[in-house]
Structure 1
Amino acid sequence: MAEDMSIESYLAQGGVLTNPTNVPPRYRAELMKLMTTFVDSELAGAAGFADVINAGPGIKERIAAAKIVLEKTDNADRVLKIMGEFGVDGDRYASHHPWTARLGRDADIGASRTEHDMRLAVFNYPLEGWSDAVVMNLLMGRAVAVQMAEFSMVSYQPLAEAFRAVAPVEARHAELAAEGVTKLAESGDTAALQASVDYWWPRVAASFGAADSTKADSLKAMGLRKSTNAELKTRWEAETKSVLDGLGLKAA
């Protein structure tokens, strides 16, 4: 960075930061929010999926589910280590929140958070059995793919590198979910699968945040976003509808 250039100008022109020592306060706050949301969502998602491992119809499915739980926890740990460089106690953090806590199935909180932690709202809803969990994992897995493509380009280099490592792991989770949904559909379980799509679609859609958010410009200036919430959601809708069509299912 040129000595006569402010950090704000440097970031606005596509610059990157590499350690906590030169991170300005506002940037730090938004960066911590991004990392916390990811870590909390991964840990809450893993906790919820762990409860349905033994509901898998066969050994292969149970192994896949257990692997997803392990890898989501590992993904959280990867980013939590970066948070540790900002002073976060990773060991205390992992045991501090009730990751298994869920609201009622009929609750409707939109994109709002609860008092539990910073998990995306979708991870506050309970899974109901194997097919429901697989559908949720498919829809949310596609959403994560869109979000990872976005966040793999953030201006904080260590985090961008972590997200680039996480992206293919999360992509494989979505692939496993698609395989699971395909197998269930072939067994004639289409009605139950469609009911789960109808339930989870609006809740996953809400994870992209408000379409009219006013923070996009400031986040873009800091290099923490390149697309708006609406653009990311539209991308997810198009890609996921195509996947569902191939499975004989319809978006809600």
Structure 2
Amino acid sequence: MSEEMTIESYLAEGGKLTSPANVPPRYRAELLKLMATFVDSELAGAAGFADTINAGPGIKERIAAAKIVLEKTDNAGKVLKLMGEFGADTDRYVNHHPWTARLDRDADIGASRSEHDMRLAVFNYPLQGWADAVMMNLLMGLAVNEQLAEFQTVSYQPLAEAFRAIAPIEARHAELGREGAAKLADQGRSDDLQTSADYWWPRVAQSFGGTDPRRSEALQAMGLRKMPTGDLRERWERNAAKVLEELGLARP
């Protein structure tokens, strides 16, 4: 970065930052929000999915569920380590929030965050049985794929590198969801899958956040976003609808 160029201009032109020492205040706040949302969603998601491990109908399914819980927790750890470089108390962090806390199944909080942490709203809802967990994992996994494709290019280089390592792991989680759903459909559980798809679709859609153009432009200028959230959501909707159709299910 030249001496004449401001850090804002540097970021707007695609520049990368590599250390907490040279990030401006607003950038720091948005970056920490991004990291906390990911960490909290992974920890809350893992905590919720852990309760379904023993609901798996066979050893293979239980191993897959346990692997997802392990890897989501590890993914959270990768990003939490970066938060620690910004001063977060990583030891206290993991034990400070009630990751297993859930609302009633019929609660309607839109995209609101938990009062306890920064998890996405979708992780405030409880799972109900194996088919429900499989469908939520599938739809949310496809959403995570879209988000991580975006986040692998963020302007804070250490975080971009962490997301590039995490992306194929999360993609495999979505694929496990697809495999699990296909198996349940073959077993005559399509009605259960459709009921769960109808429930989770709008809640997963809300995880993409709002469509405020001014905020979107500000994040793009900082290199923390490339595409508007509405475009990401539409891409997820097209992909998820195709996957549901392949499973013999209807888009909600």
TM-score in same-fold range (> 0.5):
yes
How far apart in 1 are the matches of 2:88 and 2:249? 43
Aligned residue in 2 for 1:169? 169
How far apart in 1 are the matches of 2:223 and 2:119? 22
Amino acid at match of 2:96: H
How far apart in 1 are the matches of 2:50 and 2:27? 34
Aligned residue in 1 for 2:232? 232
Is the Cα contact below 8 Å between 1:113 and 1:119 reproduced in 2?
A: yes
Amino acid at match of 1:116: H
1:23 and 2:23 matched: yes
How far apart in 1 are the matches of 2:167 and 2:213? 25
Matched ranges for 1:115-154 at <5 A: 115-154=115-154
Deviation at 1:215, TM superposition (A): 0.3
Describe the SS at the equivalent of 1:214.
Answer: helix
Amino acid at match of 1:132: D
Give every structure 1 segment of 4 or more consecutive aligned residues whose post-TM-superposition deviation is greater than 4 Å: none
1:49 and 2:49 matched: yes
1:39 and 2:39 matched: yes
Aligned residue in 1 for 2:108? 108
1:181 and 2:181 matched: yes
- Identity level (%): 73
How far apart in 1 are the matches of 2:161 and 2:89? 21
Aligned residue in 1 for 2:92? 92
Deviation at 1:168, TM superposition (A): 0.2
Q: How many matched pairs? A: 252
How far apart in 2 are the matches of 1:249 and 1:74? 33
Amino acid at match of 1:74: D
How far apart in 2 are the matches of 1:2 and 1:213? 30
Amino acid at match of 1:128: Q
Deviation at 1:127, TM superposition (A): 0.1
Aligned residue in 1 for 2:80? 80
Describe the SS at the equivalent of 1:215.
Answer: helix
Deviation at 1:251, TM superposition (A): 1.5
Gaps spanning 5+ residues in structure 2: where?
none
Is the Cα contact below 8 Å between 1:111 and 1:207 reproduced in 2?
A: yes
How far apart in 2 are the matches of 1:214 and 1:56? 45
Aligned residue in 1 for 2:216? 216
How far apart in 1 are the matches of 2:183 and 2:113? 34
Q: Deviations over 1:59-80 (max 9, x none)?
A: 0000000000000000000000
Deviation at 1:212, TM superposition (A): 3.7
Matched ranges for 1:181-200 at <5 A: 181-200=181-200
- TM-score, scaled relative to structure 1: 0.99
Q: Give me the CA root mean square deviation.
A: 0.6
Deviation at 1:213, TM superposition (A): 4.8
Deviation at 1:40, TM superposition (A): 0.1
Amino acid at match of 1:227: M
How far apart in 2 are the matches of 1:7 and 1:77? 29
Is the Cα contact below 8 Å between 1:213 and 1:229 reproduced in 2?
A: no
How far apart in 2 are the matches of 1:240 and 1:116? 30
Amino acid at match of 1:122: V
Gaps spanning 5+ residues in structure 1: where?
none
Deviation at 1:211, TM superposition (A): 2.8
Amino acid at match of 1:77: G
How far apart in 2 are the matches of 1:220 and 1:212? 12
- TM-score, scaled relative to structure 2: 0.99
How far apart in 2 are the matches of 1:211 and 1:205? 12
